[in-house]
Amino acid sequence: MANTLFGYVEVSGSNTVSYDATSIARIDRVFVGPAATWHLFVRYIANRPHPVARWAYPIALQISPLLGEATKSITPRDPGRSVIGYDAARIQVTYGVNGQAIAIWPQGIDLPPRRPGTWLELKLESGGEFMFVEGAAKWADNPNGYPDEPVPGPTSAAARYYVPQQKITVVWHNVLILRAKELDKMVGKVNSHPFLGKPPETLLFESYNLAMENTLDLDFPVRWAVTCNFIYRGIVVGGHVYGWNHELRHDGWKEVIVETGSGPGKRYEPTSFKWMFM
């Protein structure tokens, strides 16, 4: 078998393609070769995209004996200790599309650097909060707030201010080695530099969750899926963006300083999120 990989060749009739609305595309390729090297061939091809449809990756592998007059099998003496062996194998590789892994992220949300072999899934939910700001509201017919003319009362809806927010979830898939202590250090902090397209101090790392997931890996088929939850809060006033370290006072947005035990500091400590997914 000249010009073959580990003795395997692709058979005639291989590389069939089907399309449907669920999986987008499915491609099946069939190879035959020596059973002694099937694991080497599978390890090689399992992590590589289809050579033509580069957006399709293996999602299933089927290894079966190649039966025929020219092949041989070796039956075990003790079926409880060993299994039947064959000298030739047939390998079917099924390719599919992971739309979340290849999707182009929305304009304005930058894709962060990520560890090779992993991919990021994005979820976003828009919302906001109503803030009550005492003394910040005035009636249009009393702009100076004269006490002998109508002014908003302490419970008036006029003193309510809506602040838009976004709940942004990034799921980090196919993680083998997770440095959880590094994530722990970032929880409760805000971005010191632009991250996910958001200005500094507007993105709060609220929490993260872990779940195990399976992967197409013959050596170790278990990975981590890390769900990172962020809350974006950016208030644009006159070209300036105020974030989590500012609150609205009667005379405008002001930075909040708190006593941290080691001296006064910002309410939410800024830190870099750039390498979070590396």
**156-210 pLDDT per residue, tens:** 777 778 889 999 999 999 999 999 999 999 999 999 999 999 999 999 999 999 9
pLDDT in tens, 61-74: 999 998 876 667 77
pLDDT at position 64: 93
Q: How far is CA 107 from CA 2, 80, 169, 234, 249, in A?
A: 49, 59, 16, 17, 33
Where would I find the beta strands (DSSP E) of 35-82? Answer: 57-65, 73-74
Residue whose entry in the numeric block shows the structure tokens 């006072």: 249
Which structure tokens are listed for 5?
A: 């990989």
Hey, what long-range contacts does 211-219 have (CB within 8 A, 24 or more apart)?
213/173, 213/174, 215/174, 216/46, 216/47, 216/58, 216/59, 216/60, 216/61, 217/46, 218/39, 218/42, 218/43, 218/46, 219/43
pLDDT at position 45: 93
Question: pTM score, two decimals?
Answer: 0.83
Check whether 136 has a pLDDT greater than 70: no
CB-CB contact of 96 with 26 (8 Å): yes
pLDDT at position 147: 65
What is the DSSP secondary structure assignment for residue 158, as one 8-state letter? G
Residue 248, class by beta-carbon neighbours within 10 Å (0-12 exposed, 13-18 middle, 19+ buried)? middle
When mean pLDDT is compared across 17-21, 25-29, 51-55, 122-126, the lowest value belongs to: 17-21
CB-CB contact of 59 with 216 (8 Å): yes
Mean pLDDT across the chain: 88
Check whether 47 has a pLDDT greater than 90: no
Q: Which pairing describes strands 190-191 and 270-271: parallel, antiparallel, or unpaired?
A: parallel
Q: What is the DSSP string of 231-250?
A: EE--EEETTEEE-TTEEEET
Highest mean predicted confidence (pLDDT) among 47-61, 79-93, 172-186, 250-264: 172-186
Residue 38's pLDDT band (cuts 50, 70, 90): very high
* Cα separation, 246 vs 197, whole angstroms: 20
